[in-house]
Each structure stands twice: as C-alpha cells, then as structure tokens.
Structure 1
Amino acid sequence: MSPVISHLSAESSSSVRLVSGPHHCEGRVEVKRDGQWGTVCDDEWDLNDVAVVCRELGCGAAVELGCGASGEIYKPLAEEMQPILISEVKCNGTEDTLAQCGQEDDVYDCSHNEDAGASCEIPETVRLVGGPGRCVGRVEVKHRDQWGTVCQAGWNLSAAKVVCQQLGCGKAILTRTYCDKASHGQGPIWLSQVSCTGQELTVLGCHSEPWGKNNCTHEEDTWVHCEDPFELKLEGGDNHCSGRLAVRHKGTWGSVCDDGWGEKENQVVCRQLGCGKPLSLSPKARKPFGPGVGHIWLDDVHCSGRERSLEKCRHRFWGHHDCTHNEDVAVICSAKDSDFPGA
C-alpha cells in the first residue's frame, strides 16, 4: 500500500512533498533522492525549515512543525515505511527549496518516531461571496491576483463537493445559477467547463478550459451551497476540555451515544479541541455533566485514533440510533497542548 499523498501537481518539479495530512499544505515531510521518496529526521527541525517547505510547495506561511509521527497523526503504517533520507536540516528560512539548506545524510540514530512534519497556511484560491455565510455564495477563483467568477457550463455536484471541502465547509447541498442581477459577479469570468471527480483537493486541480476562455456571461455565474462545517464541543465541565460531547448538524446541536465509544474516539475529540490527551473516565464521572436534551446525532462511532476530526470516523447515519440520553458520551481531556509532541 503506497502512502496517501495529499497533493503534488503533475507539472511541479519539487523534490519535497507533504504526506498523510488533511490537505496538501500539511503532513509528514518527504524528500526525493535518486528517484526515491523518503522521510526527514526531525533533529534540528524548526519553523525556518517549515517555512522553506511551505514556499517550495506554493503554500502559505508556516504555521507549526506539525505533530509528526510521535503525534500518531502522520506516522506511516508498517506497509508504507519509506527510508529516512536526511537529518539535521538547517535552513535560515529564506531559501527557495529545501535542497538549498544544509543537511546530513547520516541518519543512523533516527527512527520513524522522529519523522518531521510541517503545517502551512492554505493559499486562498477560491471563495463563496454574496451569500448569507462563507459556505454559501457565488463561486470565485483567484488568478493573477484578481478574483473572477466561474461559468455554470460543465459544473456539477462533484465540483461543488471539491469547493466545499477546500473551504472546510460541510457537504455540498446544491449548485445553481441565479437570475437575480444583484447576485451576478463582475470582472473576469475565469473558468468554464470545470470537470471534477470529487477527489481533488482544490478546484484548481480539476480540468477546465484555459483561464478566461469562455462564451459565458455573468448571468451564468455558479453558486454553491455547502452545509455548515462540522463542529463539536464539551458541555457542562469546568472548562472547554471536559464535559458531555455535543456535535452540530444542520445548525442544531445534539449528543453522541456511547455505544462502541472508547479511548481512540476520546483521542480524536481531545486532539480536535486542542485539549491534549484524554483522561480515563468512569461511567460515574459522567453524572456531573448530566444527560443531554434534543437530538442524539451520532451512534456507533468508530475511529482509528489518527483522524484530525471526529467527522472522519465511521458512524451510523446522522440521527439514526437506539440510545437514550443516559448513554450520552462525556470526555475529559488533560487540557495541555504540550501533551502532543510538536505542538
């Protein structure tokens, strides 16, 4: 099984990539040497090195080192193991490529528990404007530092799915044009005949006509409606890192049934909230938080423990369950970001 690669455009000649992250600008760092990809030991790894990786990949500013392998997020599975190719990378942060930085080929004292990670900002290349929120509106893409619209010709729900995912919104509900002139865009119509499989990480990775080549008018501007992004919180505790688990679906908060719930699911919740590690929680410890009210949104949740969001774990269809509120999940986290190496 080959590693899951977030993204690397076919036309790119970069010798670095980010693997197994949530998007193409975050993940485990891998470099290419003599035609072979391998990992980077995190000895001496710092934000200057991350900044160079971000620049080489065309991403935004460096955010953090990433949790790396020791955080169990980017760690390769046994069948994915790559060789460890370099260590002690020393960049001053101004280099254009990681290859221009000082580095050592001697990696005898490193293991995959020390694989370097990187997290960069995602450059803003798509947005939804004119709607009631950031997840509903007219599709606009950025080209040559100018925003322009997308023609409805060729557009479908798979393309809308890519836009919603790229923006961190929920699933695509619908896509359409609007007859109201007030909703029409202005300026260039950048894209037409956009064709996506739904698996692309950005809408600019989909096939389309060349930039600006179309016979469209702004009456054919594309609009997309995505669900609100997945959210969760812990209620009734002493702080935001302890309490009864609530998730939001279709704008309404509801609880989660504890059928099948365990340590790995707790890990995902604590990580998503930035609350460190989960602490052991006996059934009696749930009582101070009390039962929830209203919807029970999720049941039979199963996580691997590596997910960055509870939304990525397996579960029944939203709202389908055989539970009562006496079975609501409660979670207590350590509330220390430092519990995750690299945080």
Structure 2
Amino acid sequence: SLTVSSTKLIECSTNSFSPESVRLVDGAGFCSGRVEVKSNQSWASVCEADFDRQDAEVVCGELGCGAPAALQGGLYGGGVGQSWDKEFQCKGKESLLLDCDTSDRENNTCLPGNAVGLTCSEPDDVRLVGGDSRCAGGVERYNKGEWRIVGAADWDQRDVAAVVCRQMGCGSTVSVLPGNTTRGFGFICSGSESSLRGCRRMYDLRPGLTVICSGNNNIL
C-alpha cells in the first residue's frame, strides 16, 4: 500500500495574471462592442473623442482579436453609467490599454451617447470583398496563409450569411446571393453561431456567397 509520509503545501501566486481591465460589450462576440474600461472596481464607457485607431489596435490585441475593422461612436449603444474621464494616447504597440499614456481633456468634447464602439477582426479573419462597405461583398476567410472563398449549399446560404454578418459586427442579413463559382470552401451553420469557427466545415466545394448586411461601417 502507498503511504504518504509528508504533505507539502504549495502556495500559488496569481500576481502574474493581469486582471481584466478592458472589455467590449453589447456586440456580436468578444471581438466587438462598446469599449469599457475598469475604473475603481466599476466599468466606465470611453468617449469617441478620447479614442483613436492606435488605441483600438491595443484593445484588439489585448483581447486576442485581429486588427481593428470599424470604430464609431454609438455603434453599440450610447453607454450606461460613468464615462472614462481621460483621453488615451496609445502608440499602438502597448500590451494593455492601461499601459498607454493618458491626458486630461482640453475641453468637454464628450457628447452624450457617443461612447465608442469597436469591431476587431475575429482571430480567424472573415471579410467581405468587392462591396460598397466592409459590410457587403463576397465572403472570404483567411486560412493557412491565404484568403479563401467561403461557400454554402443552396439551403444553408442564409444561415451562413447570418453568422458572417454577426461575426463582423455588421448587424443582420439584408440579402444573400450565390456566387457564380464552385470554388468556395463549404460551411454548414445553424445561423445562431457567433462566428464561422462554430460552424461545420464541408469537404466539398460550394458556390461562393455575396452578402449584404444591415450595417454600413466604412473602412477605417
């Protein structure tokens, strides 16, 4: 039989883990939403005037998402509760938003309802190409070093389109048209997934999709 002759107590330190200091809320997933910063144990919305592209790059990186895709005040609601009272001055290379320099506002440029909304690319990067905005066009997914056409069977096109619009923070599907190629890597979705990663990959090629979503976010 096994006899335990001594007991060793191990104390683990959690100091090496940074507490959550920034989040995106009311978006389609963890990579899109209204920017909120932890302040004195409560969350504060960030004003559009206090936040720019370099700040967005730091937030997207801190959350493990891809590059910033859209940045707009009021995109995911006007914000509730308190507002962050300083302007961020990130250089874009910082690991954490709270590592960035900040400054006091020169004047009261923070208007009600202008809490900044941010959409980062999902880690597996889906895009719509050839349309009038980033929320319309042919569906492509970045995979193994290249952009590949996304396809779907006739009966599943609207479900796949709904997931793509949601993943990109572009609202709901307005229309979906089959492409004229059969070179698309096929996906089967239920329509409720937060991204294409939650859908099932097909092993045969399907016609590519052209999708128009209800959002109309211009490219930064």
> Normalising by structure 2, what TM-score?
0.52
Equivalent AA in structure 2 for residue 96 of structure 1 = S
User: Secondary structure of 1:50's partner?
Assistant: helix
1:95 CA displacement: 0.6
Between the aligned partners of 1:225 and 1:93, the Cα distance in structure 2 is 33
Q: Which is greater in Rg?
A: 1
Q: Deviations over 1:38-80 (max 9, x none)?
A: 223678655543332243342435876x446xxx98423xxxx
Alignment: residue pair count: 185
Equivalent AA in structure 2 for residue 89 of structure 1 = F
- Residues 126, 46 of structure 1: CA spacing in aligned structure 2 closer, same or farther, 3 A cutoff? closer
Q: Indicate the residue corresponding to 2:182 in structure 1.
A: 184
Equivalent AA in structure 1 for residue 209 of structure 2 = V
- Residues 82, 164 of structure 1: CA spacing in aligned structure 2 closer, same or farther, 3 A cutoff? closer
Verify: 1:142 aligned to 2:137, yes or no: no
CA contact 1:47–1:62 (8 Å) conserved in 2: no
Q: Indicate the residue corresponding to 1:98 in structure 2.
A: 97
Question: Which one of the candidate residues 190, 199, 203 is aligned to 1:195?
Answer: 190
1:114 CA displacement: 8.8
Equivalent AA in structure 2 for residue 160 of structure 1 = A
User: Secondary structure of 2:156's partner?
Assistant: coil
Verify: 1:157 aligned to 2:158, yes or no: yes
CA contact 1:62–1:120 (8 Å) conserved in 2: yes
Equivalent AA in structure 2 for residue 60 of structure 1 = A
CA contact 2:77–2:115 (8 Å) conserved in 1: no
- Residues 61, 175 of structure 1: CA spacing in aligned structure 2 closer, same or farther, 3 A cutoff? closer
Question: Which one of the candidate residues 19, 43, 65 is aligned to 1:37?
Answer: 43
Between the aligned partners of 2:169 and 2:56, the Cα distance in structure 1 is 23
Q: Deviations over 1:144-171 (max 9, x none)?
A: 4323355647935222233367596962
Between the aligned partners of 1:164 and 1:149, the Cα distance in structure 2 is 16
User: Secondary structure of 1:155's partner?
Assistant: helix
Q: Deviations over 1:121-153 (max 9, x none)?
A: 757514479xxxx9676x542124323355647
1:31 CA displacement: 1.9
Equivalent AA in structure 1 for residue 192 of structure 2 = T
Between the aligned partners of 2:20 and 2:187, the Cα distance in structure 1 is 29
Between the aligned partners of 1:38 and 1:15, the Cα distance in structure 2 is 10
Gaps of 5+ in 2: 1-18
- Residues 155, 15 of structure 1: CA spacing in aligned structure 2 closer, same or farther, 3 A cutoff? farther
Between structures 1 and 2, the one with greater helix share: 1
Gaps of 5+ in 1: 1-12, 231-307, 310-343
Q: Indicate the residue corresponding to 1:172 in structure 2.
A: 175
Between structures 1 and 2, the one with greater strand share: 2
CA contact 1:141–1:147 (8 Å) conserved in 2: yes
Q: Indicate the residue corresponding to 1:207 in structure 2.
A: 198
> Normalising by structure 1, what TM-score?
0.37
CA contact 1:29–1:40 (8 Å) conserved in 2: yes
1:30 CA displacement: 0.5
Equivalent AA in structure 1 for residue 159 of structure 2 = S
Q: RMSD over aligned Cα, in angstroms? A: 5.2
Equivalent AA in structure 2 for residue 208 of structure 1 = C
User: Secondary structure of 2:112's partner?
Assistant: helix
Equivalent AA in structure 1 for residue 145 of structure 2 = D
Between the aligned partners of 1:43 and 1:150, the Cα distance in structure 2 is 37
Q: Indicate the residue corresponding to 2:9 in structure 1.
A: none
Between the aligned partners of 2:101 and 2:141, the Cα distance in structure 1 is 37
Between the aligned partners of 1:175 and 1:99, the Cα distance in structure 2 is 45
Between the aligned partners of 2:57 and 2:83, the Cα distance in structure 1 is 21
Between the aligned partners of 2:150 and 2:114, the Cα distance in structure 1 is 40
- Residues 59, 171 of structure 1: CA spacing in aligned structure 2 closer, same or farther, 3 A cutoff? same
Q: Indicate the residue corresponding to 2:55 in structure 1.
A: 49
Q: Deviations over 1:69-117 (max 9, x none)?
A: xxx98423xxxx233456343423321221322459xxxx998739652
Superposed, 1:1-343 pairs within 5 Å as: 15-19=21-25, 28-32=34-38, 36-40=42-46, 45-57=51-63, 58-61=65-68, 66-67=72-73, 74-76=77-79, 81-84=80-83, 87-102=86-101, 113=112, 117=116, 119=118, 122=121, 125-127=126-128, 139-150=139-150, 152=152, 155-163=156-164, 166=168, 171-173=174-176, 183-185=181-183, 189=185, 192-197=187-192, 200=194, 203-204=195-196, 207-209=198-200, 216-218=203-205, 221-226=206-211
